[in-house]
Amino acid sequence: MIHEILPVGMLQCNCSIFGDESTREAIVIDPGDEIESILEILARNGLSVEAIVITHAHIDHIGGAQKLKRATGAPVYMNAADEELRGQLDVQAAWLGVASPEAAEIDASLKDGDVLAIGAAQMHVLHTPGHTQGSICLWMPSENKLIAGDTLFRDSIGRTDLPGGDSRQILRSIHEKLLPLPAETLVFPGHGDSTTVGREKRFNPFLRH
């Protein structure tokens, strides 16, 4: 499986591009910005985008989705509980002092337990509300990888002081959905360095009881 990670935009959101080597199908997760660079990676690897997945509707994760959708024709998936946030991209843009991007049209909602296929691999949707109500993580057991959005970070967890955030709920999501995954699972947060489930279980100061 091809996996390229590109930090995009002012907030350096980690955009993940997964590509199957035999079918050349790709899934792009969180194309927040810098769509030209994402398209360049896709072209360099001879990949065609089958799905665009949004871990949550914060502007740094969803900002480029409509542009990528228009360039590739791929459907955009997101959990429906972030609809309200998606409708407030202009407000979010004002917080950051940037121009508001065009809001992405969502083709289907991703729910807990949904599975996306990429070649022979599967991507499982885990609904992990707390950072936002519609936050999801994506677990690929065959690759031993978790795309964690802004729910779990190396030595930290997602902030819960923005609209839709809930500090108890994010801890419940992490404890119930993420920490039970195999300890060696590689975790790719929405920002910053990668880690493993086992490392965060042991050392993350926000997850100590």
In the complex, the residues that contact Zn ion under the rule CB under 5 A are 58, 150
- Name the minimum Å distance from CB 49 to Zn ion: 22
CA distance 151 to 204: 13
Comparison of 58 and 127: residue with beta carbon closer to Zn ion: 58
Q: How far does CA 73 lie from the centroid of its chain? A: 19
Query: Closest distance between Zn ion and the C-beta of residue 11, in Å?
Result: 9
Q: How far is the CB of 133 from Zn ion (least distance, A)?
A: 12
Place of tokens 């997945």: 53
Question: What are the DSSP E strand ranges found in the chain?
Answer: 2-8, 13-19, 25-29, 48-53, 76-78, 108-109, 115-118, 121-127, 136-140, 145-149, 152-153, 156-157, 186-189, 195-196
Q: Which is nearer to Zn ion, 17 or 136 (CB)?
A: 136
Q: 34 or 150, CB closer to Zn ion?
A: 150
**Closest-CA residue to 149 (of 44, 29, 67, 42):** 29
Nearer to Zn ion, 163 or 182 (CB): 163
Q: How far is the CB of 117 from Zn ion (least distance, A)?
A: 26
State which residue, 9 or 19, has the beta carbon closest to Zn ion: 9
Rounded to the nearest whole angstrom, what is the least distance from the CB of residue 131 to Zn ion in the complex?
A: 6
Pairing relationship of beta strands 25-29 and 13-19 according to DSSP bridges? antiparallel
